[in-house]
Chain A
């Protein structure tokens, strides 16, 4: 098990290297003059002298390979550079905002599991009867809803009309309810649909027919065979949902003034604060990759075939 984890981790290293290189090149070869952006963010007038000085200070006069190496060697020492607009270490700033975003995405993930799986099971068990039709209709609507718009609807209903929940901010457990629901809805609906079809698939399998023939009670069959087996496909897909949830959380944050990475990243984008952009995307990638690794490990733990498969390859 440990060996599997280490092997999976090792395959990530070259991948992350390529990711960082691609992003580095995109920024450096992209539009505009970073030295000009730097001066603007430092509120210095862009005279020719100042531009030359800035290029030297930022190392922009060096060959690209040298620039990449200096960034990479910094990143390996957990030094992602300093923000051009605040002058503070990027890593420190990203880590300051990350917990709020992770809290939102994590709560949303919990909702996805706690709502998506049971409703999917329900729909499958009541196949073609009204609970099935209803949940499927809701699920279909849910995957088409813009998450930020759902956020506005919730605010209108629960804050403006009913006054039950705070419209914005991160203050107490009540404040996370609406942002988490808005973030989770799409993934929960996808999970619901996956779970339903997985349950239907398992219900049709042969060993169930045997189990039923052996006279096992319906409850046991459902619990031991159907649910456990059917949960595997939707749980595998959770890894992908983590990405959607992280991205979705950043959009939803803007509706609820949730103090996460969303606003921070947005400011870096409109400011063209390159060190922040680079650090932000790297940290998000790392979070995403590690979450997927966790899902894989959990899955391998449940299903030993994966481990053997990995060894064979």
Chain B
């Protein structure tokens, strides 16, 4: 029941993101100053913003930007985390020690503070927000992958493969990655919503500048001056974020129940 609800929600949101160009009734960037801040009507189902742009169209396109950003973060964090973690775990020694000290350093700082710092170093923009969130989260995954790699390396069948002459790379590809994959999937699915909130928070602070692209956090930031006159401009994108994070969290919980029975009943 939970799995079906989660999948249904995620599918609807992904559908909105993928098919936004066909679903959106208007061009999300088309301005019309004469019809600014309109209430919902038959023409503009959710009204218009401060530049007369169609809010529904912007929300649909916003699904693209917001979910796209999270998808890229997911890919980057998994790639970077697995690379560093597996390297440290498989090579061991000095390399391991150095990589893990760096990872520790990244884990010593609150993630949002760290992300703020990286945006300061890299400059603002949605791309840099994505990079900053990646850089502030990879260490947790590197730690996890390293731990799993170490425990796997000690297992008999991996040792046997090494004795049989398989290269380290082969071992990593054939034995370590598949075993680590399940665990990573669970952790990542639980983190998707978290990242989504981070992206939204940073763009709300005005750091994810990407005008005129519609992104939910940016839409809220744009709408702030009009909060008293047109609160819906703030409330609607926020509701979209809430719904998406809810869907991700449901999916994460469901996935954990399915893949990781040992954890069941623990944190929910």
Contact = CB atoms under 8 A, between A and B. Distances in A.
Within the complex, are A and B direct neighbours (CB within 8 Å)? yes
Interface of A: 14-16, 18-19, 22-23, 26-27, 30-32, 136, 140-141, 143-149, 152-153, 155-156, 160, 193-194, 197, 200, 242-244, 246-248, 250-251, 254, 265-266, 268-270, 272, 277, 280-281, 284-285, 288-289
A149 B246 contact: no
Main secondary structure of the interface of B (DSSP, over half): helix
Contact of A197 (B113, B235, B268): B268
B205 A251 contact: yes
Given A15-B108, A148-B220, A277-B117, A197 B231 contact: no
Contact of B120 (A160, A194, A248, A277): A277
Interface stretch (B151-159, B168-176, B193-201): B193-201
A265 B117 CA distance: 9
B231 A156 contact: yes
Contacts of B15: none
Nearest to A155: B227
B113 A22 contact: no
B42 interface: no
Contacts of B267: 193-194, 197
A30 B104 contact: no
B109 A149 contact: no
A18 B109 contact: no
B200 A146 contact: yes
B126 interface: no
Given A18-B102, A248-B112, A144 B245 contact: yes
B105 A18 contact: yes
Interface residues of B, number: 45
B4 to A, nearest CB: 16
Contacts of A141: 242, 246
B118 interface: yes
A14 B119 CA distance: 25
A130 to B, nearest CB: 18
Nearest to A292: B108
Contacts of A15: 101, 104-105, 108
A266 B205 contact: yes
Q: Which of A141, A243, A244, A246 has the most CB of B within 10 A?
A: A243
B37 interface: no
Contacts of A242: 110
A224 B40 CA distance: 57
Interface in B213-254: 220, 227-228, 231, 234-235, 238, 241-242, 245-246, 249
Given A144-B193, A246-B110, 12 more contacts: A26-B118, A26-B121, A31-B122, A31-B123, A146-B200, A160-B231, A246-B112, A246-B113, A272-B123, A284-B113, A285-B113, A288-B113
Nearest to B220: A149
Nearest to B227: A152
B183 interface: no
A116 B4 CA distance: 29
